[in-house]
Amino acid sequence: MGDSTEFLALERAIAPFAEGFSVRSGNDGALSGVFLYRNGGDQEIGVFAGLLLDADPYPHMVRFRGDPEGLVMAYVNPIDGSARAELVSDEESVFETAHETLMPLASPEPFELFESEPGALVRRRRLPEGADELTDRRLLEFCRGSLALLGQVDLLDALREYDLD
C-alpha cells in the first residue's frame, strides 16, 4: 500500500474494502487519507477515507470552520464524463439508489448526495478534540463503518465492476 507510516493505520483499517481497487495515500492540504480507486482513460472512480482538513476547495462541504472532519466520499471524476452520467446523474443511478437506501441506516451522520460535485456521496463526522490524526481509533472506526455501509448497499461492488472503457 502506501510507504508512509502516517497512512499505515488507515490503510490497514480499510484493507478489507480495497480488493479490486488501486490504493493511493496522500495529503494535499485539503484532504488527508487513502483513496481506493480505479482509472480508465481520463476517468477515475472510487472512494476516499480520511480527514477533510480544509473545506475551501470543497465549498459544498463547508459546515463549520475549525477542527478537521472525518470524511468518507465516493467519487466519480470528471463530473462531465460518461461514468459520472451513468453512475451518479441518471435517474435511479447506483449512487442515487445507494443514497436512498443509506438514509435510514447512517444516522446521525447521513450520507449526502452531491450530483454536481466530484465527491458525489459524502459522509462526514465532526471529530472530538484530539481526534485529528489518521491513527485515531475514532476516525478509523468511522471510516471502516462508513465503507461497510457502502459495501452493504453494493456501491463498492458497482465501482469495482463498472466498465471504464
CA–CA separation, 88 and 79 (whole Å):
9
Instruction: Return the higher-pLDDT residue of 62 and 19.
Output: 19
- What is the predicted pLDDT for the residue at 3? 45
Instruction: Report how far residue 106's alpha carbon sits from residue 109's, in angstroms, rounded to the nearest whole number.
Output: 6
pLDDT at residue 33 above 60? Answer: yes
Q: For the chain, give the mean pLDDT.
A: 90
Contact 114, 107 (CB under 8 A): no
Asked if pLDDT for residue 138 goes beyond 80, the answer is yes
What secondary structure letter does DSSP report for 128?
P
The mean per-residue pLDDT over the stretch 104-130 comes to 87
Q: Is 97 a residue whose pLDDT tops 80?
A: yes
Whole-number Å distance between alpha carbons of 79 and 2: 27
Which residue from 54, 72, 74 is spatially nearest to 64, judged by alpha carbons? 54
Which helix H or strand E contains 70, and what residues bound it?
A: strand 69-77
Q: Check residue 165 and give its pLDDT.
A: 80
Q: How confident is the model at residue 68 (pLDDT cuts 50, 70, 90)?
A: confident
For residue 77, what pLDDT is reported? 94
Give the model's pLDDT for residue 1: 39
Q: Which has the higher per-residue pLDDT, 52 or 68?
A: 52
pTM: 0.92
Q: Which residue has the higher pLDDT, 75 or 2?
A: 75
